[in-house]
Amino acid sequence: MTYGSWITYARKYKPILFELEHRYYGKSHPTEDLSTENLVYLTSQQALADLAFFIEAMNQKHNLTRDVKWIVFGGSYAGNLAAWVRLKYPHLVHGAMSASAPLLAKLDFPEFFKDVEDSLRANNKKCSTILKESVDQVEVPLQTAVGQKHFNKLFNLCEDKSEKVHNSLNMYNLVTKSETLDWLCTLLKYRGPEINRLGNIRNIIFGRKCYNYDEMISQIENNVWEGPTGFGDRQWIYQTCTEFGYYQTTAKFPLSLYIQRCQNMFKSSYNKMFLDHAINRTNVFYGGLDIEVSNVVFVHGSLDPWRLLGITKTLNDKAPAILIEGAGHCDNMLGASHDDSPQLTAARVQIGELIGTWINS
């Protein structure tokens, strides 16, 4: 834990810093394996209880008095947890910085890609048009054997199983590094067929290693801790099936594909009715976007589609929202850089001032 915005704030306020690992992720192995039966203990509610227990244990270990103020930080799903732990354990947590948090659980989330398209169009209309044409061209080479081979080579597929590519590209949205819209548009303007440009972007972001769909599915279905699953893919998919949804659907990749994945990977009873009830339960328990909380700052970037499920308008004087123009997902969690926009810099200052207010109150 040596880099990030919280380190900057720590230099000013001189706190003790702790970084807590979520159960079932990383090296936290509370069960024998990752079988569906053993994943029953993987819930956001249990994660919050773990955090509360940890705080109590650290207070005791370090002889911290009750007037010591804990401030928590989290981004994305961890941003949810940051806000929720302040909501559920206000006697233990005094303040929270919740970045890019999709607080509203939502089963079907088609707005995600529509917002991406809108952001591209607003930034560069020509760029948006080229990208759409590139995606449309993906269908063309899949109609013939020769075209499939070209497609496999262009997108670095290990096997001739192009019919599975659509599912993998949409169902497993691997988060890598944040690339700017200008960078994307520059690559899309290169000469040559649009689909080739799309393939080049894929290779730059994901690397030149070939993409093996069957191997990826096998890894996610593997329930052994020591296997590839231990990194968290299986765990997170389980949480989407039992708590959150967040499925970024399109006309060609409807909700039914995601529900089928839940049933194939975990239980046949994980049908649409089950998922609907699970997501409703999450929103009832935490409050969704009507969360009643204080000493929480909700931070989002205007270019981040996840803001659509988050709080972007101030709830009350003690629960402000900061929408950073031109920023992406969790940008304010990163350490300060000379490349930061004035809006991002101003947001960092505002967050720091809020932390100071919480500490001194």
- Give the range with max mean pLDDT: 122-136, 175-189, 337-351: 337-351
The arithmetic mean of pLDDT across residues 88-93, rounded, is 97
pTM over 0.75? The answer is: yes
- Does residue 256 carry a pLDDT above 80? yes
- What's residue 177's pLDDT? 34
What is d(CA 32, CA 39) in angstroms, rounded to the nearest whole number?
A: 10
Q: What are phi and psi of 71, to 5 degrees?
A: -115, 125
Cβ atoms of 221 and 234 within 8 Å: the answer is yes
The size of the chain, in residues, is: 361
Residues 320, 323: Cα–Cα separation, whole Å = 10
Mean pLDDT of all residues belonging to the chain: 86
Collect all residues with Cβ–Cβ distance below 8 Å to 141 and sequence separation of at least 6.
147, 148, 150, 151, 162, 195
**Maximum Cα–Cα distance for the chain, whole Å?**
71
CA angle 340, 344, 347 (to 5 degrees): 145
Q: What is the pLDDT of residues 210-253, one digit of tens each?
A: 666 667 777 777 788 876 655 678 999 999 999 999 999 988 78
Q: What is the pLDDT of residue 206?
A: 67
Residue 111 has pLDDT above 70, yes or no: yes
* High-pLDDT (> 70) share of the chain, %: 87
Residue 208's pLDDT band (cuts 50, 70, 90): low
User: What is the average pLDDT across 333-353?
Assistant: 94
Is it the case that residue 348 has pLDDT exceeding 90?
Answer: yes
Contact 298/312 with Cβ under 8 angstroms? yes
Dump strand ranges (E) for 137-222.
none
162 band by pLDDT with thresholds 50, 70 and 90: very low
Q: Which of 222, 250, 226, 227 is nearest to 237 (CA)?
A: 222
Strands 95-99 and 71-75: parallel
What number is the average pLDDT over the span 65-88? Answer: 96
pLDDT digits (tens, 9 = 90+) for 16-57: 999 999 999 988 999 999 999 999 999 999 999 999 999 999
Query: What pLDDT is stored for residue 211 in this prediction?
Result: 62
Question: What's the helix, strand, coil split of the chain in %, to 5?
Answer: 55, 10, 40
Do 105 and 283 touch, CB atoms closer than 8 A? yes
